[in-house]
Amino acid sequence: MGHSHIHVSDQPGSSLSSEQKAAMMGTRRRANLLLAAVLVPLGIITIIGMFLLWPTGNQSEVAVPSPFATAPGTSMDVGTVQRVVLEDCPSSQPTVDAGGEAQQCQVAYTLPDAGGSAVPVELNPEVARSGQVDPGDSIRYLNLEGVISGAGAPYIFVDFVRTLPMAALAVLYAVVVVSVARWRGLRAIIGLVGALVVLAQFVLPGLVEGKPPLLLGLVGSVVIMIGVLYFAHGFSARTSTALLGTIFGLGITALLAAWATDTANLTGVGSDSSSALINAAPEVSLSGIILCGLIISGLGVLNDVTITQSSAVWELYELAPHTPTRRLFAGAMRIGRDHIASTVYTIAFAYAGAALPLLLLVSLQDSSLVESLTSGELAEEVLRTLVGSIGLVLAIPVTTLVAVLVVKAVGTRTHSPHDDDGAGPRAVGHATVPEDATPAALAAEEAAAEEASASRGVARGSNAAGAAAGGVTAGSDAAGSDAAPQAGEDAPLPSRRALREQNFR
């Protein structure tokens, strides 16, 4: 699965014996084999599940009429608003002809993109009250001129054309992500497109055909995570650890979602979209759609915390490779707890923002708080928040534990796992720093080591100059001066930040 990047034989000044190197390589190999032994069967099971659940294509027989569908003699046109005025409604013309009084409404005079003069497009009351239609806006309107002859409104507002602002924001989003995250950001965007393809080609058609929603959501989510994680972050033990934590969190989320959907009797009935689905595809389970949605909704946040937690463990080990396992786990969990606190808020506020019109409507109703929270669509949002948060919280300690065990076994690019004995002094230059040294002591030892290194360089320069001036062979002096680096005297010193972090608790 993942592989580490330790090259023991290339480490300068390495004092490991051949037996120690062999033992270290064996430990690393066993850790990678253990990761593969867990992830490869999961991947095979996922592929088999995707094959068995793959849609047959019968969903093409199901058709839901488009809200923009037009009858014979009518057309959906696009134009640019020239001006908006308050005048007699064109739809009131039959009333005026019968001797009645015309109603006033907002009319947007719109220039058709296909050419011709501006036409009066009647705005419905909801859109008129919003005040969103302004000169220069591009709108869609229903052209009834072919079926209405002098009676009623021949042009009716349908919707705004939002292609340009949405495309501009999408391009800006891609530019910002790639500019900050570079190639990894580009790979993440490509992975996002792949995830949308899985949803569109596998999950959604499967729901329409009545496939098991629990398995659809779980298999689809695992497929997405395998592709996204490895494509964005590469094949490594770090990524494999995050994937294990993500799959664990998905399993917990799926079980809780199945239980919550059943015990809370989430039916999904009540909205216009659910009614349209029931009429078009009777085999579709609305409660199953809710169940699948509960699994998929927390996928992005779950992936975020697991990959971040795995990376945190690797970075802590990189800075403090001698830290004992228990202390490394405790330090990583401190980061995890902070992440839990902020992410729980993120999930709650994201769902609250999406359901804000519903929350506002519920707040205006004459009912108690408990009745409001447990009613209909609002109960669905509450359970979505709770289920996703529980799966996320439980995934963090599991991911942290697995990451600590794996990084202790495979090491990092610069540190060997064999050197991690969990105790004992650490060498800095010629100095020996105790395990419990304070940051001030570490800084002092570093300064002393730098001064000693500089003194040795001056001394070697003087010896070389004297040998050249006196005509004496410099071989013995050079051999004596080069012996110290071979013993590790002038090995590159660790940074001051790394020295201080090695003593974190």
User: Does the model's pTM come out above 0.85?
Assistant: no
Written as six digits, the tokens of 495 are 């940074």
**What does 443-505 look like in DSSP terms, one character per residue?**
HHHHHHHHHHHHHHHHHHHHHHHHHHHTT--SHHHHHHHHHHHHHTTTSPPPPHHHHHHTT--
- Nearest CA to 396 out of 324, 309, 464 is that of 309
- 106: how many CB neighbours lie within 10 A of its CB? 20
Task: Give yes or no for a contact between 414 and 317, defined as CB atoms under 8 angstroms apart.
Answer: no
pLDDT the model gives residue 474: 38
Helix (H) or strand (E) holding 163: helix 163-198
- Taking CA atoms, 269 is separated from 274, 275, 289, 359, in Å, by 6, 7, 11, 18
pLDDT score at 170? 94
Beta bridge partners of 501: none
165-206 pLDDT, tens digit per residue, is 999 999 999 999 999 988 888 998 999 999 999 999 999 988
Q: What's the pLDDT at 443?
A: 46
- CB burial of 428-465 (b: ≥16 within 10 Å; e: otherwise) equals bbebebeeebeeeebeebbeebeeebeebeeebeebee
Vertex 491 angle, CA 489 and 497, to 5°: 115
The radius of gyration computed from the CA coordinates of the chain, to the nearest angstrom, equals: 34
Helices 325-354 & 356-364, crossing angle to 10 degrees?
A: 60
Predicted local distance difference test score (pLDDT) of residue 88 = 80
Token pair for 145: 């001129």
Report the distance separating Cα 185 and Cα 174, nearest Å.
8
Residues in the chain where the model's pLDDT stays below 70: 1-28, 58-73, 93-100, 146, 148-153, 270-272, 411-505
Number of H helices, E strands in the chain: 17, 7
Instruction: Give strand pairing partners of 431.
Output: 428
Here the tokens at position 159 are 């919707």
Name the phi and psi angles at 435, rounded to 5.
-60, -35
Run of H or E including 52: helix 18-53
SS3 state at 148: coil
